[in-house]
């Protein structure tokens, strides 16, 4: 089981000084975080895509290019690319170029996103939420398989055999499907034989076992080899020197972040009791000291029939840069070695 980090590059208020870290400084901090993840041996670092004022990750390919130039071993990828709101030709070109810059260290994770701002921003209708993704994924896979494609669909002008360049170093470029809780999404990824990245942001991870089993059964029935049906998890997490320090460090930003989302979506305001339950042994958040986090990673992997990689999403609007660096260091030097054989 490989361990990595995902980031949504949130705006951060320093919890000690109450100073809002400006976007230029935040980007500098992010690149330091990715460089450290590379140095301490973490497997991957992913950058999300959002089009909201509290995040700076609207152009993940640009960030990943800067990261590729500063690292040598760590795999880099999207977490996720909102394919529904993008041009698959441009996405393929960007990530093929990234693959060349990184010398073959890129993973493209595509999905529909958990926020909807990208749709009106790019002139798209939420009524086409499902068909946009299905059609654009079909085109993206055809572009990966052949440099010249003849294709037509509803949401993009047709291709009539034009060449799409450059071609990536990896052949084929790894394309993962990011999913939430829709059975149709799990089954689609299995039928296509694509690796699966499951975003778990609430509830209990073990509840996803039937959906992951559906993915594997769909893949097997479609004739795909078991080794092609990889499963990854994208989860909230943080590692500190003790369970209590981890919880106390993360809670203020967690409360701020989920209060905003709950207000937008008409949910009840989050509480410390809810946070503690979600961070507990069976909850969706992977927080604590290295031993606690490693034990939970191994246990959850077993409950889900085996997991190939887990990425901890450490975005938090009130997490000091030094604390995030410490969390990355502990994840790489203490947690990853504990779960390497799982």
> Stretch 92-116: mean pLDDT, rounded?
96
What secondary structure letter does DSSP report for 319?
-
Give residue 259's Cα distance to chain centre: 22
Handedness of CA 273, 274, 275, 277 (dihedral sign): positive
Chain segment 244-256, per-residue pLDDT in tens: 999 999 999 999 9
Give residue 320's pLDDT: 96
Residue 265 has pLDDT above 90, yes or no: no
Q: Tell me the residue length of the chain.
A: 342
Chain segment 34-60, per-residue pLDDT in tens: 999 999 999 999 999 999 999 999 999
User: How confident is residue 231, by pLDDT bands cut at 50, 70 and 90?
Assistant: very high
The pairing of beta strand 106-111 with beta strand 148-151: unpaired
The pairing of beta strand 286-288 with beta strand 231-239: parallel
Residue 113 has pLDDT above 90, yes or no: no
In 3D, which of 231, 228, 145 has the Cα closest to residue 186?
231
Q: Report the C-alpha dihedral over residues 253, 242, 1, 278, rounded to 10 degrees.
A: -50
In 3D, which of 117, 168, 120 has the Cα closest to residue 140?
168
Please answer whether residues 187 and 166 qualify as being in contact, where contact means their C-beta atoms are separated by less than 8 angstroms: no
Q: Give CA separation, 165 vs 94, 102, 105, 313, in Å.
A: 10, 17, 18, 32
Calpha distance 11→318 (Å, rounded): 9
Q: b/e string for 171-202 if b means 16 or more Cβ within 10 A?
A: eebbbbbbbbeeeebbbbbbebbbbbbbbbbe
Residue 170 has pLDDT above 90, yes or no: yes
Q: Which residues on adjacent β-strands are paired with residue 264?
A: none
Residue spans of the domains in the chain: they are 2-339
pTM summary value? 0.96
* Architecture category of domain 2-339 in CATH: Alpha-Beta Barrel (3.20)
Chain segment 274-301, per-residue pLDDT in tens: 999 999 999 999 999 999 999 999 999 9
In 3D, which of 164, 153, 192 has the Cα closest to residue 176?
192
Please answer whether residues 93 and 83 qualify as being in contact, where contact means their C-beta atoms are separated by less than 8 angstroms: no
Chain segment 188-198, per-residue pLDDT in tens: 999 999 999 99
Please answer whether residues 240 and 327 qualify as being in contact, where contact means their C-beta atoms are separated by less than 8 angstroms: yes
Q: Which residues on adjacent β-strands are paired with residue 7?
A: 47
Calpha distance 290→288 (Å, rounded): 7
Q: Report the C-alpha dihedral over residues 270, 274, 276, 277, rounded to 10 degrees.
A: -150
224 Cβ partners below 8 Å, 6+ apart? 190, 193
Please answer whether residues 224 and 216 qualify as being in contact, where contact means their C-beta atoms are separated by less than 8 angstroms: no
């Amino acid at each position: 089981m490989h361990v990595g980090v995902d980031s949504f590059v949130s705006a951060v208020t320093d919890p000690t000084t109450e100073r809002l870290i400006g976007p230029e400084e935040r980007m500098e901090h992010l690149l330091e975080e990715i460089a450290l993840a590379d140095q301490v041996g973490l497997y991957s670092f992913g950058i999300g895509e959002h089009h909201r004022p509290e995040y700076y990750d609207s152009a993940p390919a640009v960030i990943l290019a800067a990261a590729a130039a500063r690292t040598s071993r760590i795999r880099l990828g999207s977490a996720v690319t909102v394919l529904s709101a993008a041009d698959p030709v441009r996405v393929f070109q960007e990530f093929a170029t990234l693959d060349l810059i990184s010398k073959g260290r890129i993973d493209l994770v595509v999905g529909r996103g958990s926020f909807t701002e990208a749709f009106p921003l790019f002139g798209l209708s939420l009524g086409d939420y499902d068909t946009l993704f299905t059609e654009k994924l079909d085109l993206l896979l055809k572009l990966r398989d052949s440099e010249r494609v003849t294709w037509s669909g509803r949401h993009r002008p047709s291709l009539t055999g034009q060449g799409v360049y450059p071609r990536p170093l990896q052949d084929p470029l790894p394309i993962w499907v990011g999913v939430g809780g829709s059975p149709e999404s799990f089954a689609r990824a299995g039928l296509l034989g694509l690796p699966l990245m499951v975003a778990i942001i609430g509830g209990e991870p073990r509840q996803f076992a039937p959906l992951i089993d559906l993915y594997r059964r769909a893949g097997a029935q479609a004739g795909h080899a078991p080794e092609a049906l990889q499963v990854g998890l994208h989860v909230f997490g943080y590692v500190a020197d003790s369970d209590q320090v981890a919880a106390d460090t993360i809670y203020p930003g967690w409360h701020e972040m989920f209060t905003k989302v709950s207000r937008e979506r008409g949910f009840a305001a989050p509480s410390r009791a809810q946070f503690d339950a979600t961070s507990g042994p069976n909850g969706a958040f992977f927080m604590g000291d290295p031993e606690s986090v490693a034990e939970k990673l191994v246990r959850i992997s077993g409950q889900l029939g085996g997991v190939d990689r887990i990425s901890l999403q450490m975005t938090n609007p009130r997490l000091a840069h030094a604390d995030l660096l410490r969390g990355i260091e502990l994840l790489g030097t203490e947690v990853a070695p504990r779960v390497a054989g799982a």
